[in-house]
């Protein structure tokens, strides 16, 4: 009977191991939703594509080389496996469960980087560095931890589910990439000397999607942490610590941001739930509830401090908080797994704190902590050694960053020919924040359409007689209406301010002309002309010459393509300022 029960348990947990791998794969959806929700709608399709392709590209390269480097039986000096191509030459005896499980973990490490570099990275560059992570970076260091012959595994390094091997690797890669790539246009405002004087918040377009992603990730994390459990008691304990730590972290962040800002921060609380999960991942099978609580409290504060300091003080632009969540809490979780490890947990040994509590060897406990510090330092150093030259080579060859014009237009249209990821929904204004002239793109004339056709100017007659109307003070008032592409808002506004226009009304509108413009394709089929998002700018002038406004607008908007813009000129009977009762020329003086 004992043999039957043991066989049943072995079968059950072998199946659970694969179910856990499927849950981890489903976390790709969670990462995609978090990143999409925390960024702007004009980049949603690009982000979905990146999260899809990092798994698909990762599968190809991990199959070809990565898995052998990580888990090969021929392991050299505890550092690297010898590729044997066994998946192709001896499929029947290939360790398929181990391959699938390690593959989905590998994909997680790669996808973390996407969020920190979102909204301005070239898609081709993303594909290359994602492949590098899955091909070389992750497999080698993960082998140190999880191959029984790995040098860290032999030292007793604790990383049950990947705070170090996965999250810290993704986090440090994200930090390096974000620094080399630079911030999004408009994120930081500089003075004339180039010094950053203001940090701007660029809000994501859907906290709802972000929250959905967090819930999916939390759900998948039960497989992430629990899949390697070999008994019901171990699995239950892992589920408890995997629940307590993120819950405590989220409560901590809510209280901390409430006290600091006067209101609880929704997006930070979403980040905090993930931070708590990252923090407990290494020690989920080595700590008790008290340890999980301590991990959660520190994670809840650490994620806020790191995200804010990185943005406000270091001026590193991380749209989704990937560095604060994965790097900071990956390192903290790795250290905490040794610091708070307890022999009363299923797979635990006493770290220094519980050595004092239980009366066991304090020096042995310090050795556990020392091993954790050595391990995380080695993993971070290896990742940095690989990713710094990788990013620099990409930057100086094919280019790491999209052009300023493509970034302002959105990666969906510039990289994928996708007008909107929400094609059947009414467009919402997606204005870029105010930027200084130094970061505005230089608009190049690349088409052949004459300016008169590309930027049409139409005078709208006031009356059949053609009589010009004047305001009560006898001065002519003229309204100029400019319709143009969204990405041209900042250059146009800046140019008009330079000629003395200080008052304007800007609206987000939809429109299409008789010309079809440049054809775009969806699933290989040409997309029919549809209403496209445009900017409509209305200006009323009396002192600034009308022709100066027209000439300035034409110069800025003209790229040589049909659809560069239209300018309408109207006569105005009168302007009345409601607050003061002033009319005509006088009513315009503090807004023109």
What confidence tens digit (pLDDT) does each residue in 426-476 have? 444 444 444 444 445 555 555 566 766 666 776 665 544 344 445 455 578
Residue 514 has pLDDT above 90, yes or no: no
Average pLDDT, the chain: 87
The pTM of the full predicted model, rounded to 2 decimals, is: 0.80
Interatomic CA distance for residues 161 and 396, integer angstroms: 36
575 pLDDT more than 80: yes
123-132, 256-265, 521-530: least confidently modelled range: 521-530
Burial class, 344, CB count within 10 angstroms (exposed 0-12 / middle 13-18 / buried 19+): exposed
Residue 290 CA to residue 255 CA, distance in Å, equals 20
281 forms bridges with which residues in the sheet? none
Q: Say if residues 336 and 279 touch (Cβ distance below 8 Å).
A: yes
Calculate the alpha carbon distances from 188 to 146, 179, 227, 404 in Å: 42, 14, 43, 15
The strand pairing partners of 190, in sequence order, are 196
CA atoms of 176 and 172, how far apart (whole Å): 6
Question: Which residues lie across from 161 on neighbouring strands?
Answer: none
- Please name the residue that has the structure tokens 């999607």: 209
Cα 557 to Cα 253, 459, 511, 561: the distances in Å are 46, 18, 17, 10
Rounded Cα gap, residues 177 and 113, in angstroms: 8
Using alpha carbons, list the distances in angstroms from residue 442 to 341, 404, 557, 560. 57, 9, 11, 14
Encoded tokens for 566: 């239209």
Read off the tokens for 103: 């593959």
Structural domains present in the chain? 2-407 (1.10.3430.10), 443-588 (3.30.70.120)
How does pLDDT run across 268-288, given as a tens digit for each residue?
999 999 999 999 999 999 999
Q: Are 447 and 79 in contact (CB under 8 A)?
A: no
How many angstroms from the chain centroid is the CA of residue 366?
Answer: 37
Q: Is 133 helix (H, G, I), strand (E, B) or coil?
A: helix
CA–CA distance, 477 with 468 (Å, rounded to integer): 10
């Amino acid at each position: 009977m004992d043999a039957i029960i043991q066989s049943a348990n072995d079968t059950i947990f072998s199946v659970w191991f694969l179910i856990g791998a499927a849950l981890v794969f489903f976390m790709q959806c969670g990462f995609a939703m978090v990143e999409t929700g925390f960024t702007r709608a004009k980049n949603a399709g690009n982000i979905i594509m990146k999260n899809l392709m990092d798994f698909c590209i990762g599968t190809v390269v991990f199959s070809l080389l990565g898995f052998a480097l990580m888990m090969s039986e021929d392991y050299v000096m505890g550092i690297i496996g010898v590729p044997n191509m066994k998946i192709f030459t001896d499929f029947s005896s290939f360790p398929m469960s181990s391959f699938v499980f390690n593959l989905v973990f590998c994909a997680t490490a790669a996808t973390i980087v996407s969020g920190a570099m979102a909204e301005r990275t070239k898609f081709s560059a993303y594909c290359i560095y994602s492949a590098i992570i899955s091909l070389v970076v992750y497999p080698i260091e993960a082998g140190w931890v999880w191959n029984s012959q790995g040098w860290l595994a032999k030292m007793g390094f604790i990383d049950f589910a990947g705070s170090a091997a996965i999250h810290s690797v993704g986090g440090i890669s994200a930090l390096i990439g974000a620094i080399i790539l630079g911030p999004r246009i408009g994120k930081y405002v500089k003075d004339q000397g180039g010094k950053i004087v203001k940090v701007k918040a660029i809000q994501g377009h859907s906290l709802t999607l972000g929250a959905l992603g967090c819930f999916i990730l939390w759900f998948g994390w039960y497989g992430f942490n629990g899949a390697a459990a070999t008994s019901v008691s171990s699995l239950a304990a892992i589920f408890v610590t995997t629940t307590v730590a993120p819950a405590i972290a989220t409560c901590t962040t809510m209280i901390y941001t409430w006290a600091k800002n006067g209101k609880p921060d929704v997006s930070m609380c979403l980040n905090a739930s993930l931070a708590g999960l990252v923090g407990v991942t290494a020690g989920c099978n080595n700590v008790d509830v008290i340890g999980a609580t301590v991990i959660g409290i520190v994670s809840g504060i650490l994620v806020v401090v790191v995200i804010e300091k990185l943005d406000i003080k270091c001026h590193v632009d991380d749209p989704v908080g990937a560095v604060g969540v994965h790097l900071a809490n990956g390192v903290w979780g790795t250290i905490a797994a040794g610091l708070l490890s307890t022999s009363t947990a299923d797979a635990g040994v006493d770290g220094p704190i519980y050595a004092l509590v239980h009366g066991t060897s304090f020096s042995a406990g310090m050795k556990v902590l020392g091993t954790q510090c050595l391990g995380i330092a080695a993993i971070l150093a290896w990742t940095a050694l690989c990713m710094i030259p990788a990013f620099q080579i990409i930057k100086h060859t094919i280019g790491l960053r999209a052009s300023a014009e493509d970034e302002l237009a959105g990666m969906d249209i510039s990289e994928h020919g996708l007008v909107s990821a929400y094609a059947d929904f009414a467009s919402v204004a997606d204005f870029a924040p105010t930027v200084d002239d130094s970061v505005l793109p230089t608009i190049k004339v690349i088409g052949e359409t004459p300016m008169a056709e590309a930027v049409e100017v139409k005078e709208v007659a006031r009356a059949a007689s053609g009589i010009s109307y004047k305001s009560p003070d006898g001065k002519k008032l003229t309204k100029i209406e400019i319709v143009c592409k969204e990405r041209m808002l900042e250059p146009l506004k800046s140019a008009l301010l330079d000629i003395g226009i200080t008052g304007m009304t800007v609206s987000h509108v939809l429109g299409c002309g008789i010309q079809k413009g440049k054809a775009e394709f969806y699933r290989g089929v040409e997309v029919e002309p549809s209403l496209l998002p445009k900017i409509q700018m209305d200006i009323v002038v009396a002192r600034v010459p009308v022709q100066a406004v027209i000439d300035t607008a034409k110069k800025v908007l003209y790229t040589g393509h049909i659809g560069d813009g239209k300018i309408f000129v109207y006569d105005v009977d009168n302007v009345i300022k409601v607050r003061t009762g002033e009319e005509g020329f006088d009513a315009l003086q503090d807004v023109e």
